[in-house]
Amino acid sequence: MAHDRYLVLAILTVGILYLLLDRSAEKVTYNPSNSHFEHMNNPPPTEKVRMASTSNDENPDFLQPYYRSKDDVPPINYANENDEKKIILVTGAAGFIGMHLALQLHRRNHFVVGIDNFDAYYDIHLKRDRAYELHKQNIPMFLVDVCDGDKVHALFKKYKFTHVAHLAAQAGVRYSLINPLAYVRANVQCFTNLLEVIRNYPGVKVVFASSSSVYGRNTKVPFSVFDKINAPSSLYAATKKSNEDIARVYHHLYKIPLTGLRFFTVYGPWGRPDMAVYDFSVRMLRGEKINVYSHGVLQRDFTYIDDIVDGIIAAINKGSDFEVFNLGKGHPEYVNELITEIERVMGVPAVRNEMPIQPGDVALTYADIEHTYNRLGFRPSTSLRDGITAWGIWFKEYTAFIEAGDFKKPDAFMYVLEEGSNNGAEGFMDGEQAMHNGDDNEELAL
């Protein structure tokens, strides 16, 4: 009888453990109201991508704008703007996050100026097309390298910026193994040069892009901004950590208000071709193999671009003296889940090329966003399914644009930027002003 009782207890214990493990596999979402994770099997679609979510396998091309329209500017209640109209310099404005941020700030009636050096790390035509989107909204755009102190000074003198969102950087973990000096220049030298300019303009508030990569080989999860970050696993991560260290020094010496933002695997429309979402989509449609590292069980805190931009704007509004925040979803997901969602949206199966984890990569990124919520009210809300649906709609539209080959206006726009960049420290701005004058430049008249 005793033996039977032990057997029954063992069976019950295994059953309970199975149920617990099964529940742990459910999707979770961060619930800032009580600072713990609330289990969700099928979260409802968020309002911003509800139209995209209504698409289905029978109608995968149900159309939704690939970025927020002028009428879709949700309130950011978690940081007080005091009805202040800001004059904001966005560096890296032809980049993925930079373009979205510039558009959103413009739609909130702030005056935005964008600069970018149009580095050829990835397809410069994509950067051209992003910059042209800004031009179509009458956002001044200049071809300027942040390391060019004279031109950055000239912009400050002309526009009298109140804020800077510094997003220009050399991105990519794996490329840092191939061209390390590009990271030292773009991420360390140019950032220092920008701060050297800014310290001549007291009162300018700065937010700058850091990265989840700074957590490196940390084994404690989720990653908290209060964790030590002394074990970077790539040169890219080391340069981003140095950004935070340099920022602390400039704040200490010159009292520049600086806020560092550690981004976690940002994806969405207009995303980077070197990132998994874009690369997988292209290869899958071509029937090519996709490189899947560590059997797809690497986990990333995939965060949709609109959520990231909301967090950046909140940080700009907050204007801390010095602070660092995580901007991530707060819920890591397997790369295999990402692949499944892309297969659904693209309508084709992935052909996998299984590979080992690469040098510099980490197994897991996982943001602790409680501090960000407490200080900024940051509440990411876009599910991976909704985000990839919106991505797929944009990707198909952009692919059709590329295939149509109508690049006359974007190319003319880029030509004017390139011509202007060859002028002196202040003359480079003349060409941009002419672009918005239909009499002077009919080709680029809006």
Spatial separation of the C-alpha atoms in residues 276 and 239, rounded to whole Å: 22
Spatial separation of the C-alpha atoms in residues 414 and 434, rounded to whole Å: 13
Spatial separation of the C-alpha atoms in residues 164 and 144, rounded to whole Å: 15
Spatial separation of the C-alpha atoms in residues 229 and 173, rounded to whole Å: 17
Strands (E), 335-421: 351-355
Q: Contact at 8 Å (CB) between 281 and 45?
A: no
Write out the H or E segment, with its range, that includes residue 20: helix 2-24
The set of residues, in sequence order, having a beta carbon less than 8 Å from that of 209 and lying 6+ positions away, is 92, 97, 166, 167, 169, 240, 243, 261, 263
Q: Which long-range contacts (C-beta less than 8 Å, at least 24 apart) are formed by 220-226?
A: 221/364, 221/366, 222/330, 222/366, 222/367, 222/368, 223/326, 223/365, 223/366, 223/367, 223/368, 224/326, 224/368, 224/371, 225/262, 225/324, 225/325, 225/326, 225/368, 225/371, 225/372, 226/371
Known active-site residue 236 = yes
Cβ of 214: how many Cβ atoms within 10 Å? 27
The DSSP output letter for 38 is E
C-alpha gyration radius of the chain = 23
Active-site residue, selected from the candidate residues 30, 66, 183, 236: 236
What is the identity of the amino acid at 83? D
Spatial separation of the C-alpha atoms in residues 286 and 231, rounded to whole Å: 39
SS (H, E, C) 168-229: CCCCCCHHHHCCHHHHHHHHHHHHHHHHHHHCCCCCCEEEEEEEHHHHCCCCCCCECCCCCC
- Overall residue count recorded for the chain in this entry: 446
Q: How is the chain split among helix, strand and coil, in percent rounded to 5?
A: 45, 15, 40
Q: Where would I find the H helices in 58-179? A: 96-107, 124-136, 149-159
Write out the H or E segment, with its range, that includes residue 94: none
The set of catalytic residues is 236
